[in-house]
Amino acid sequence: MSSPQPTRVNIRTYQVGFGDCFVLSFFYDDRPRMRTRRILIDFGTTGLAKSGPRSLRIVAESIAQHCEGRLDAIIVTHRHMDHISGFRGRSGEIIASLKPKLVLQPWTEDPRAAVDASRPTRRLKRRQSFTTMLDDMHDVAAASLKELGTQSKRFSKDVRQQLGFLGQDNIKNRAAVEWLMKLPCKHRYLAYGYGSGLERLVPGLNVHVLGPPTVDQTDEILTQRSRDADEFWHFQAMASKRVVRHSIRLFPKASVRRNMPPEARWFIPRLDSIRGEQLLQIVRNLDNAMNNTSLIMLFETGNQKLLFPGDAQLENWSYALKEAPESNRNLKLLGDVTVYKVGHHGSLNATPKTLWGKFQRRNQETTEDRLVTLLSTASGKHGNTDRGTEVPRNKLVIALKKDSEFHSTEDISHGQSYEDIEVEVDHA
Amino acid sequence: MTARQMRTRYLTIVAQDPGLKLNGKILTERVAVPAECLDRGPLGNRVHVVDYDASTQTLYSPADLEASGAYEDAYLKPSSITILGDPGFHAQNVYAIAMRTLARFESALGRRVGWGFDSHQLKIAPHAFADPNAFYSRADQGLMFGYFPGHSGMVFSCLSHDVVAHETTHALLDGLRVGYMDPSSADQAAFHEAFADLVALLSVFSLKSVVKRVLSRDSGSNLVPASAISKAALKQSVLLGLAEEMGDELGAYRSSQDALRRSVELNPSRGLLNQSEFSEAHRRGEVLVAAVMNAFISVLSHRISQLGTVTGNMLDLNRVAEEAADVADYLLTMVIRAIDYTPPMHINFNDYLSALLTADYEIRPDDSRFHFRNIIRETFTAYGIDPIPTKSAEPGIWDHLESDVTYRGVHFSSMQHDPEEVFRFIWENRQSLNLFEQAGTRITSVRPCSRLSPEGFQLKETVAECVQTLSISVGELKRFKIDVDFPLSAHDEVTLQGGSTLIFDDYGKLKYAIGTRLHNWEKQSERLRLMVDAGCFDRETTALGRISALHTERFMDTHSHRREGWK
């Protein structure tokens, strides 16, 4: 008898507002005794939708029910709050009770890289410096939020809003990070080209890990400036900590003026405003860097290819699409994608035009094999329409609607907590 | 002489940055700055220091530089504790370096030089925020210097001579060529950075006593071994690295670990500018810096080789330092003066080379003393920068205007200062000057200058900028055969610019018209394509943040991949 192959795949997209939460279910209808395999991809939010579930606990209960008490694997694409905040507290307990066998995370989350200093290999050292950089980034985000909290009146409303959102999303979600680390099951930390281990849990599934590249993989293509990025964040973090701790001044003994002299009244508010813009620029860079640690997963079974790139942005994609020795093969593989989870909630930098152009199933006609696109997002939370940075990016949404069978969590009916998409698998 | 009659005063500054120490002491230097009656701040006629820290919302009391007496140096022989811990010294440091840089521009150009904004006084915030960054902002009319905790204490960018001179130069260049801050080509963005680096580097080298002390390591000896001033040793000199302390703390950009940028060590190659690595503004700018600084080293080495040894293989330290300061000073004058011979917008490195050569040729036609022009041509060519092809007797010098122009109805004296008079002249000659009549045309500046040659002759010229602007919708561009894939709608407007720098001689005759025609549609297409690639039409790109963002992007490599986004 031939080895089992899924006959259909159900993709459940949960309404979590600005966040991601998907469950993939692989059915083996021609094997009545074989149970359905389930994979949870991300579980977090920065703000639930008013029309959807009122808490992540309710979402977790729905996941448990949907999975019939059993989860095979969890994929955590990266550590942003809107992807992991459900992995803690009561919602975390419910997910843990589903006894997942495997947790997949990007290599940047490998705890050995962060703490194991006893293996002074070049690779480990480089990785350690990267994970230290992530910690520095969290510190910068926390400090920015603190600065925002204490001095917010100086910044414009737009800066305040964006800084608050990005700062919140980028602080270290310690409880969730530790929860994931302690989950009693096998953990794998993946990078471009690594084996996922999912094939053993989900028969008939072939998984391609297309990102993120490791420091070593990108070493050859990075310029010196990029290699200085960890130093940059280190100094940013030190500078930020100083601000946070600094109710103390830079020169404690120097005399200060309480009132603004008339000749400086034009300039000082401008300096305050520059500071706000500058903090926002730093936190935006930080947000992008963190997004670029995202796992890019391509699930292949029969004629179906499901692409889940988390929040990966152009720089992360760049390796798989351009610099990797197998980039041509990757492009060919991606050309045949049937379901695309739109990257980073539809932001302008997460669906590379090269990639979009390669999708052969893009089609303006409603055909059977038309590309399916899934967008989990909430408008008005992130970015700015005047600057053309709104999420989801309007131009992208227009293209998605025009050329694919488009599903957005914003279109889920009031009171509903999810949307199901089902695709048949043809192994011919 | 009474204090009121003094033309200059001397103020102590950090010679390079607190990282440069001799015998354990931070190297300082007293520099001459124009004397003026200062208010607290200091607040002078061209610079206003406002010591406000936006990260902690602290406004430090303004420094009183006249506390020790009018025109006295309040910080004579400062200790390291004072240098690092007294905000008043920091205020003096930024004030003196900014004023010295301004004075240097004015002496090279032979006239007063304004800032690039509508105010006479440049604001400087020496401790603007906790951030490893420093930048010039036209909109805020100021220079902002950040600070951050380094490995061995606080790093103040306001104490780095290179950083302060660099940012002041941005503000000065913006005053001379307002169009150079606009997005154009990779060369134009790089030029602002390279020019600022060159002024910073050459300003330090022209401090004779600093050169002397660095070469002798403050040993007290008046002799220096020839090996210490070989070409290779000069390239390694700390004086040729920009911002030593910030470089140490921030990690080097390239293999040399001791300076923020050490452009001079960039190996010459004609293909360098075509490599993708050199498309980023700072990196590209380094190529221009490398070309100029290698010319400097070649001239200096040649001059030192003519000195002869005093004993064995030892040279007279005083003479070496004098030569270094002379050559640096000469080259700095040339580098600054060249700006007057550049087009008002859309500059590229080739234009600048021709401007350098022409500026020098005008003041000193005989190149036999330093051979500077020959050496500059050679080093630039080695880095793939060729002069603009011209018909002049010496290669690369701009062509003298040969077309027939009429001076009918214009008045000589008004032509030296009155934009209306110059406009009347160019309008009368619009066909000879190849202007595009459908565009808006404006004379943006008329600057009479009186330059002094090394031989003591005066060269009087009037420099005027003529700018043409055409605002049209994206849809209309096809009319001019401009076919560019814009991230804009057909109704959105784009602005095309062209124009010339007009140089009039001391008889009011037009000598040079240096520029780029607005109706060179092929060039406009090429430029627009480059601008689209560089993200210049992205709505989040603003002139306000451009220099600040550039300084951050240098670390982050965030400039790439723009074509892939959904702009």
- Residue A1 domain flag: no
Query: Mind spelling out the 3-state secondary structure of B57-94?
Result: CEEECCECCCCCCCCCCCCCCCCHHHHHHCHHHHHHHH
Q: Which residues of A touch B558 (CB under 8 A)?
A: 285, 288
A271 with B140: Cβ contact below 8 A = yes
Supply the DSSP string of B213-264, one letter for each residue. Answer: HHHHTT---SEEEGGGGSHHHHHH-GGGSB-HHHHHHH--SSS-TT-SB-GG
Lowest pLDDT segment from A358-372, B255-269, B355-369, B416-430: B255-269
Residue type, B19: G
Q: What local confidence, expressed as pLDDT, does residue B130 receive?
A: 85
The answer to whether residues A250 and B126 touch, using CB atoms and an 8 Å cutoff, is no
List the 55-84 stretch of B: residues with Cβ below 8 A of A: 55-62
Q: Which residues of B touch A268 (CB under 8 A)?
A: 50, 52, 59
What phi and psi values does residue A37 have, to the nearest 5 degrees? -100, 140
Place of tokens 């003479």: B319
A225 with B555: Cβ contact below 8 A = yes
A281 with B549: Cβ contact below 8 A = yes
Look at residue B5 and tell me whether its pLDDT is greater than 80. Answer: no
Residue B125 three-state SS: strand
User: Are B164 and B193 contained in the same domain?
Assistant: no
User: Are B192 and B322 contained in the same domain?
Assistant: yes
- Residue B182 domain flag: no
What phi and psi values does residue B183 have, to the nearest 5 degrees? -65, 135
Give the pLDDT confidence of B459-504 residue by residue, as tens digits: 999 999 999 999 888 888 888 888 777 777 778 888 889 999 999 9
Q: What local confidence, expressed as pLDDT, does residue B443 receive?
A: 96
Residue in chain A nearest B52 by alpha carbon: A268
CA atoms of B91 and B44, how far apart (whole Å):
12
- Residue B396 domain flag: no
Q: How many folded domains does chain B comprise?
A: 3
A268 with B61: Cβ contact below 8 A = no
Residue B276's Cβ-count burial label (10 Å; 0-12, 13-18, 19+) is exposed
User: Are B374 and B439 contained in the same domain?
Assistant: no
According to DSSP H, which parts of A246-393 are helical? Answer: 267-291, 314-318, 327-335, 353-358
CA-closest candidate to residue B198, choices B126, B249, B263, B114: B263
CB neighbour list of residue A79: distance below 8 Å, 6 or more residues apart: A109, A134, A172, A173, A176, A177, A290, A293
Q: Which residues of B touch A314 (CB under 8 A)?
A: 561, 564-565
B58 with A242: Cβ contact below 8 A = no
Q: Which two tokens stand for residue B407?
A: 């001076």
CB neighbour list of residue A380: distance below 8 Å, 6 or more residues apart: none
- Residue A158 domain flag: yes
Q: Which residues of B touch A263 (CB under 8 A)?
A: 41, 43, 48
- Residue B425 domain flag: yes
Q: Confirm or reject contact between B50 and chain A (CB < 8 A).
A: yes
Distance from CA of A165 to the nearest CA of B (A): 18
- Beta strand extents in B253-321 (DSSP E only): 314-316
B130 with A270: Cβ contact below 8 A = no
CA atoms of B161 and B166, how far apart (whole Å):
8
List the 423-482 stretch of B: residues with Cβ below 8 A of A: none
* Closest residue to B131, CB basis, from A228, A278, A353: A278
Distance from CA of A241 to the nearest CA of B (A): 9
CA atoms of B132 and B219, how far apart (whole Å):
34
Q: Bigger pLDDT: B236 or A220? A: B236
Place of tokens 């109710």: A247
Strand partners, B124: B49, B143
Residue ending a domain, choose from B361, B382, B403: B382
User: Are B265 and B170 contained in the same domain?
Assistant: no
- Residue B301 domain flag: yes
DSSP state of B239: G
The answer to whether residues A16 and A381 touch, using CB atoms and an 8 Å cutoff, is no
User: Are B200 and B312 contained in the same domain?
Assistant: yes
Q: Confirm or reject contact between B545 and chain A (CB < 8 A).
A: yes
Distance from CA of B41 to the nearest CA of A (A): 10
Q: Which two tokens stand for residue A310?
A: 């988390």
CA atoms of A388 and B378, how far apart (whole Å):
46
Instruction: Report the Cα–Cα distance between both ends of chain A, in Å, rounded.
Output: 16
Residue ending a domain, choose from B176, B207, B239: B176
A315 with B561: Cβ contact below 8 A = yes
Provide the CATH number for the domain around residue B47: 3.10.170.10
Provide the CATH number for the domain around residue A117: 3.60.15.10
The answer to whether residues B315 and B224 touch, using CB atoms and an 8 Å cutoff, is yes
The answer to whether residues A89 and A61 touch, using CB atoms and an 8 Å cutoff, is no
User: Are B260 and B204 contained in the same domain?
Assistant: yes
* Closest residue to A285, CB basis, from B142, B558, B561: B558
* Closest residue to B540, CB basis, from A271, A351, A388: A388
Residue A367's Cβ-count burial label (10 Å; 0-12, 13-18, 19+) is exposed
User: Are B169 and B193 contained in the same domain?
Assistant: no
Query: What's the mean pLDDT in B104-127?
Result: 95
User: Are B147 and B211 contained in the same domain?
Assistant: no
**HSE-up of residue B502 (Cα within 13 Å, Cβ side):** 29
Buried b (16+ CB within 10 A) or exposed e, A131-143: bbbbebbbbbbbb
Residue B482 three-state SS: coil
Look at residue B367 and tell me whether its pLDDT is greater than 90. Answer: no
What phi and psi values does residue B438 have, to the nearest 5 degrees? -80, -10
CB neighbour list of residue A421: distance below 8 Å, 6 or more residues apart: A10, A11, A12, A13, A339, A372, A374, A407
Lowest pLDDT segment from A239-253, B134-148, B402-416: A239-253
Q: Which residues of B touch A229 (CB under 8 A)?
A: 555-557
| Mutation target among A223, A250, A353, A400 for the B interface, most CBs of B within 10 A | A250
Most confidently modeled of A238-252, A368-382, B86-100, B240-254? Answer: B86-100
Q: Which residues of A touch B59 (CB under 8 A)?
A: 256-257, 260, 264, 268
- Residue B392 domain flag: no
- Residue A256 domain flag: no
Residue B409 three-state SS: coil
- Residue B267 domain flag: yes
Distance from CA of A250 to the nearest CA of B (A): 8
- Residue B388 domain flag: no
- Residue B555 domain flag: yes
Residue in chain B nearest A265 by alpha carbon: B50
* Other C-beta atoms lying within 10 Å of the C-beta of residue B153: 10
- Residue A258 domain flag: no
User: Are B221 and B367 contained in the same domain?
Assistant: yes
Q: Which two tokens stand for residue B294?
A: 């290698």
A263 with B150: Cβ contact below 8 A = no
Q: Which residues of B touch A222 (CB under 8 A)?
A: 557
The answer to whether residues B299 and B379 touch, using CB atoms and an 8 Å cutoff, is no
| Mutation target among B55, B249, B537, B544 for the A interface, most CBs of A within 10 A | B55
Q: Which residues of B touch A245 (CB under 8 A)?
A: none
Listed as ranges, residues in chain A with pLDDT below 50 are 115-124, 220-227, 244-247
Give the pLDDT confidence of B255-313 residue by residue, as tens digits: 333 455 677 788 899 999 998 888 877 889 999 999 999 999 999 988 888 887 778 78
Q: Which residues of A touch B563 (CB under 8 A)?
A: 353
CA atoms of A7 and A28, how far apart (whole Å):
5
Look at residue B119 and tell me whether its pLDDT is greater than 80. Answer: yes
A222 with B557: Cβ contact below 8 A = yes
In Å, what is the CA distance from B82 to each residue of B98, B330, B453? 20, 34, 41
User: Are B14 and B65 contained in the same domain?
Assistant: yes
- Residue A257 domain flag: no
CA-closest candidate to residue B355, choices B201, B173, B525, B135: B173
B250 with A229: Cβ contact below 8 A = no
- Residue A3 domain flag: no
Distance from CA of A229 to the nearest CA of B (A): 6
Give the pLDDT confidence of B182-227 residue by residue, as tens digits: 878 889 989 999 999 999 999 988 788 888 887 777 677 888 888 7
Instruction: Report the Cα–Cα distance between both ends of chain B, in Å, rounded.
Output: 65
> Is cis: bond before A213, omega within 30 of 0?
no
A386 with B539: Cβ contact below 8 A = yes
A254 with B60: Cβ contact below 8 A = yes
- What angle (nearest 5°) sits at the alpha carbon of residue A104, between those of residues A98 and A106? 145
User: Are B128 and B217 contained in the same domain?
Assistant: no
Place of tokens 């991949």: B561
DSSP state of B516: E
Helices and strands in chain B, H and E counts: 15, 17
Q: Which range marks the domain in which residue B373 is found?
A: 188-382
Residue type, B361: Y
Q: Confirm or reject contact between B563 and chain A (CB < 8 A).
A: yes
CB neighbour list of residue B118: distance below 8 Å, 6 or more residues apart: none
Residue type, A373: T
Q: What local confidence, expressed as pLDDT, does residue B557 receive?
A: 40
User: Are B199 and B145 contained in the same domain?
Assistant: no
Q: Bigger pLDDT: A3 or B358? A: B358
CA-closest candidate to residue B82, choices B143, B137, B175, B12: B12
Residue ending a domain, choose from B382, B399, B434: B382
Q: What local confidence, expressed as pLDDT, does residue A127 receive?
A: 54
CA atoms of A168 and B380, how far apart (whole Å):
50
Q: Which range marks the domain in which residue A179 is found?
A: 8-247+265-424
Q: Which residues of A touch B566 (CB under 8 A)?
A: 348-349, 351, 353, 393, 395-396, 399
A278 with B123: Cβ contact below 8 A = no
Distance from CA of A166 to the nearest CA of B (A): 17
Supply the DSSP string of B452-466, one letter for each residue. Answer: E-TTS-EEEEEEEEE
Q: Bigger pLDDT: B346 or B481? A: B346
Q: Which residues of A touch B50 (CB under 8 A)?
A: 264, 267-268, 271
CA B245 to chain centre: 21
Q: Which residues of A touch B554 (CB under 8 A)?
A: 225
Q: How many folded domains does chain A comprise?
A: 1
B540 with A264: Cβ contact below 8 A = no
Q: Which residues of A touch B565 (CB under 8 A)?
A: 314, 348-349, 353
